[in-house]
């Protein structure tokens, strides 16, 4: 019997990726089907359904699932799920597809058919529906009214822009995934399926594993969070996003190099596993923290490290809103349908000159002036502009990799600062 946490949903890993003769047969069939181009976000979601990362999902959500997830964090069958996983098409394409039809889903960037899908439902997404989704998924507790939210969200929130730019009709139905795209080759040794991470955890005899979510280069605070987790768990899974980010974010290849050098020099290596997953960021703050815990459960992790402003963007969310949301979600009684991966809540961490080491707001009695209070956003801004990095913010080996990357850039993106980046 496995000592690992079971996959989410109570049905084991649901993997929609075909292999062998079945894959070849479906590929041939796909050539004769109507082809629909998908967005980068939909491509990432498809691959996660393919490899079991989104268990128990086996396709894009119905309207009942979409509405239940937005309103109550629950799919129509009562399974916990925090963020809609949907696929949109133009009205013109929707009109040419009947419920019951099979279609091929194509990645236009690679001109590759990623999956086939049996359409079980079509439902319109009006502007009001999209706004409803945005307000439920992206609006933080600190925003007093929807009107206040929309004043800034339409221009400044990449997740909101992603939803509002979706096409007019959603298609629902099960998928058969035909490809993992570029990930297995481009990120060989890092990109990982849930079955693979689970196998490694089993081989190492781990049962309590904490996941560390990364979309920024790993600085001292990240390192400290991982070390706290290692003290209370069997090991830590440093799990980097290798899908699309927003302009100005640092590419996955550079971040992976930074983690490699940190693990080699500053960790007990057999207490750490590094992996990558193929999703795009949704920048949904608290809801995305829940999504991170949900699919990390599928990867075999029992804890999700949630620190300051997890998956946040700008000043849309409270500093620790992604921690408190775990206390407010529904707890389905039916076995397997509740979220079992629990948060490892850690306060704001930093280097303190007076403490002469890493500390947190819970352990350090000193003032803001004694602390190195910076975020990944501030680090990117300083590196991009050739600014001086404060002592003790990052390891020298990591900063050398990042400086080399920034010196090689021909175009630089302006990086906006927000409260969390400056310690305000």
> What b/e readout covers 364-378, taking b as 16+ CB neighbours within 10 angstroms?
beeeeebbbbbbbbb
- Specify the DSSP element, H or E, that contains 203: helix 194-204
Catalytic, 296? Answer no
CA–CA gap between residue 10 and residue 12 (Å, rounded): 6
| Candidates 41, 106, 193, 215; catalytic one | 215
CA–CA gap between residue 161 and residue 150 (Å, rounded): 11
- Locus of tokens 């290849």: 253
User: For residue 127, what are the CA distances in angstroms to 23, 81, 165, 269, 275?
Assistant: 38, 23, 10, 50, 38
| Candidates 106, 193, 198, 216; catalytic one | 216
- Locus of tokens 């002036």: 369
- Both tokens of 19, joined, read 């292999």
Angle formed at CA 387 by CA 242 and CA 318, multiple of 5 degrees: 55
Q: Classify 137 in phi/psi space as left (phi over 0), alpha (psi -120 to 50) or beta.
A: alpha
CA–CA gap between residue 102 and residue 29 (Å, rounded): 10
Find, among 292, 206, 272, 215, the residue nearest to 246 by Cα: 215
- Specify the DSSP element, H or E, that contains 132: helix 127-138
Q: Classify 132 in phi/psi space as left (phi over 0), alpha (psi -120 to 50) or beta.
A: alpha
CA–CA gap between residue 86 and residue 23 (Å, rounded): 24
How many CB atoms lie under 10 A from the CB of residue 72? 13
CA–CA gap between residue 372 and residue 221 (Å, rounded): 10
Catalytic, 216? Answer yes
- Specify the DSSP element, H or E, that contains 350: strand 349-352
Q: Is 410 helix (H, G, I), strand (E, B) or coil?
A: coil
- Evaluate whether 397 touches 261 at the Cβ level (below 8 Å): yes
CA–CA gap between residue 201 and residue 1 (Å, rounded): 14
Residues with a known catalytic role: 215-216
């Amino acid at each position: 019997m496995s000592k690992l946490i079971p996959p989410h949903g109570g049905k084991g890993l649901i993997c929609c990726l075909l292999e062998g003769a079945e894959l070849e047969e479906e590929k041939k069939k796909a050539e004769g089907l109507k082809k629909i181009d998908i967005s980068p976000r939909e491509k990432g979601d498809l691959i996660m359904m393919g490899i079991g990362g989104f268990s128990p999902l086996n396709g894009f959500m119905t309207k009942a699932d979409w509405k239940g997830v937005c309103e109550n964090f629950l799919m129509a069958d009562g399974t916990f799920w925090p963020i809609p996983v949907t696929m949109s098409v133009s009205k013109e394409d929707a009109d040419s597809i009947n419920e019951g039809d099979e279609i091929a889903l194509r990645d236009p960037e690679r001109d590759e058919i990623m999956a086939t899908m049996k359409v079980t439902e079509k439902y319109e997404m009006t502007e009001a529906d999209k706004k409803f989704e945005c307000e439920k998924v992206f609006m933080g507790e600190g925003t007093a009214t929807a009107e206040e939210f929309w004043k800034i969200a339409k221009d400044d929130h990449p997740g909101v822009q992603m939803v509002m730019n979706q096409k007019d009709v959603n298609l629902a139905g099960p998928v058969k995934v035909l490809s993992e795209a570029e990930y297995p080759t481009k990120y060989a040794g890092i990109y990982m399926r849930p079955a693979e991470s689970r196998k490694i955890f089993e081989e190492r005899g781990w049962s309590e594993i904490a996941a560390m979510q990364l979309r920024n280069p790993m600085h001292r605070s990240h390192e400290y969070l991982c070390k706290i987790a290692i003290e209370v768990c069997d090991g830590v899974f440093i799990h980097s996003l290798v899908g699309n980010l927003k302009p100005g974010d640092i590419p996955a290849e550079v971040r992976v190099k930074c983690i490699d050098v940190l693990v080699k020099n500053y960790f007990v290596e057999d207490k750490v596993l590094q992996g990558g997953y193929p999703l795009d960021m949704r920048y949904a703050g608290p809801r995305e923290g829940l999504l991170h815990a949900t699919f990390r459960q599928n990867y075999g992790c029992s804890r999700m490290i949630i620190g300051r402003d997890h998956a946040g963007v700008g000043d849309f969310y409270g500093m620790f809103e992604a921690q408190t949301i775990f206390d407010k979600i529904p707890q389905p009684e039916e076995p397997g349908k509740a979220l079992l991966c629990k948060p490892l809540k850690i306060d704001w961490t930093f280097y303190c000159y007076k403490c002469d080491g890493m500390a947190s707001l819970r352990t350090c009695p000193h003032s803001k002036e004694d602390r190195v209070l910076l975020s990944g956003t501030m680090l990117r801004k300083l590196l991009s502009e050739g600014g001086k990095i404060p002592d003790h913010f990052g390891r020298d080996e990591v900063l050398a990799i990042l400086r080399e990357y920034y010196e090689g850039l021909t175009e630089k993106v302006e990086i906006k600062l927000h409260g969390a980046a400056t310690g305000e």
